[in-house]
Amino acid sequence: MNLKAKDISERRETAHTNGVARLMAPLRLDSGQMLHDVDIAYCTYGQLNARRSNAVLICHALTMDQYVASPNPTTGRPGWWPTLVGPGQTLDPQRFFIISSNILGGCMGSTGPSSINPATGRPYGLSFPVITIADMVRAQAMLVSQLGVDTLFTVVGGSMGGMQALEWAATYPERMFSCVMLATAARHSAQNIAFHEVGRQAIMADPDWRGGEYASQSVRPEKGLSVARMAAHITYLSETALQRKFGRELQRDGLSWGFDADFQVESYLRHQGSTFVDRFDANSYLYITRAMDYFDLAQRFDGKLSLAFQKSAGVRFCVLSFSSDWLYPTPESRNIVRALNAAGAPASFVEIDSDKGHDAFLLDEPVMRDVLAGFLEAAAEKRGV
């Protein structure tokens, strides 16, 4: 094991580690390229038990990071999944050894386009190879091994994290006891790809993008990345949620008769955009959205999704969708469940009634809490954790 533990701190009697692991072998990518000297940044919470049976992997969504239950050092904001992970929650570090890593291609310490290319000594930029969800998962699997874990008690992910969980189930079913997927899909739809393309074009249209070489020219395509985030953020909310939150409320008394942010929703989106650029790298955004667009789990199984789960019959699955999620709507989850059923895997499915849109999976939805608590508690009992 080659771990550069940057910081080890104790929080509320719970061991909490931030670290960066150098993968022990080069990573073979779906594109055919080899990636050398791969670093994966991660956080762990809690302790691995003597039987090594209590390890949990949390897979993060597009713009999230490894700080699932501890403050993000860049933004100072608390962990991003407080309703599921943390002391007193379903995934309590007192009981589970929780691993959360920044994805390959990310910008929170894992190797990505803003990392230094060991061959040139300069940031990769667009010379970074195009990566896939499967590449991210292969890197995670190596990290998990390097942390001394053979079999995970569960792999949990929402949105793009759910795609990673699906990929885990297809590739490493023998290394997991259960799997939880929320608000996700087994492939990106035309609409999903279309929205991502808008975001990428916004970034690449920014003169400060400089063909992806902005890092070496000491500029950042903040305008473009900000617009990308604004467009994407709309897809994370339902129309109802947006209307309830803002309606046609104005920022000030009266209209400006110009193009300032008259409406509160405009101001909100601008704020979302401008805070995003402080914590995210534009090239990472290009690479990660590309990986999501390329995701189609059934593709390498002759278009038959059930074949992806042929060896997953021993894994307990829990699939959740949200009624107002139009980014990855319920039929996408049902498609996954149907394939799991066809493969004979024990699969549970619930559509959570929520008007909060795609982001509902990160919010406090009591039914979701109950469902996840019930599923994971029963699985933990079976597993003897």
Partner 1 sequence: MAHLLPPSQREDFREILRLVRPGARVLDVGCGTGELLQMLRDEKGVDGRGIEISAEGVSACLARGLPVMQGDADRDLAEFPPRSFDYAVLSQTLQAVRAPKQVLSNLLQLAERAIVSFPNFGHWRVRLMLLARGRMPDTKALPVQWYETSNIHLCTLKDFTVLCDELDLRIEAAAALSAGQPARSIDCHSPIENWRAESALFLLSRKAAPGPGATSAQKSDLFD
Q: How far apart are CA 204 and CA 361, in angstroms?
A: 30
How many residues are given for the chain?
Answer: 385
Is residue 384 a contact residue for partner 1 (CB under 8 A)?
no
Clarify whether 159 is annotated catalytic.
Answer: yes
Q: How far apart are CA 70 and CA 108, in angstroms?
A: 14
Report yes or no: 196 and 235 within 8 Å, Cβ to Cβ.
no
Q: Using the rule CB under 8 A, give the single segment among 132-140, 149-157, 192-200, 368-376 that binds partner 1.
A: 368-376
Is residue 107 a contact residue for partner 1 (CB under 8 A)?
no
Is residue 156 a contact residue for partner 1 (CB under 8 A)?
no
Q: How far apart are CA 168 and CA 177, in angstroms?
A: 11
Q: Using the rule CB under 8 A, give the single segment among 19-27, 45-53, 77-85, 335-343 that binds partner 1.
A: 335-343
Is residue 197 a contact residue for partner 1 (CB under 8 A)?
no
In terms of Cα–Cα distance, which of 128, 119, 136 is closest to 172? 136
Clarify whether 325 is annotated catalytic.
Answer: yes
Based on CB atoms, which residue is closest to partner 1, 10 or 381? 381
**What angle is formed at CA 363 by the lines to CA 189 and CA 80, rounded to 5 degrees?**
90
Contacting partner 1 within 274-333 (CB under 8 A): 303-304, 306, 316-318
Give the one residue of 29, 144, 291, 337 binding partner 1; rule: CB under 8 A. Answer: 337
Q: What is the dihedral of CA 173, 79, 195, 132, to 10 degrees?
A: -30
Is residue 84 a contact residue for partner 1 (CB under 8 A)?
no
Q: Using the rule CB under 8 A, give the single segment among 10-18, 188-196, 264-272, 348-356 that binds partner 1.
A: 348-356
Clarify whether 114 is annotated catalytic.
Answer: no
Q: How far is the CB of 373 from partner 1 (least distance, A)?
A: 8
Token representation of residue 231: 């467009």
Is the Cα dihedral 357, 156, 159, 233 positive or negative?
positive
Give the one residue of 83, 350, 355, 363 binding partner 1; rule: CB under 8 A. Answer: 350
DSSP code string of 275-328 = HHHHH--HHHHHHHHHHHHH-BGGGGGTT-HHHHTTT-TTSEEEEEEETT-SSS
Give the one residue of 174, 197, 249, 353 binding partner 1; rule: CB under 8 A. Answer: 353
Is residue 364 a contact residue for partner 1 (CB under 8 A)?
no
Catalytic site positions? 159, 325, 358
Which residues lie near partner 1 (CB under 8 A)?
A: 303-304, 306, 316-318, 334, 337-339, 341-342, 344, 346-353, 367, 370-371, 373-375, 377-379, 381-382
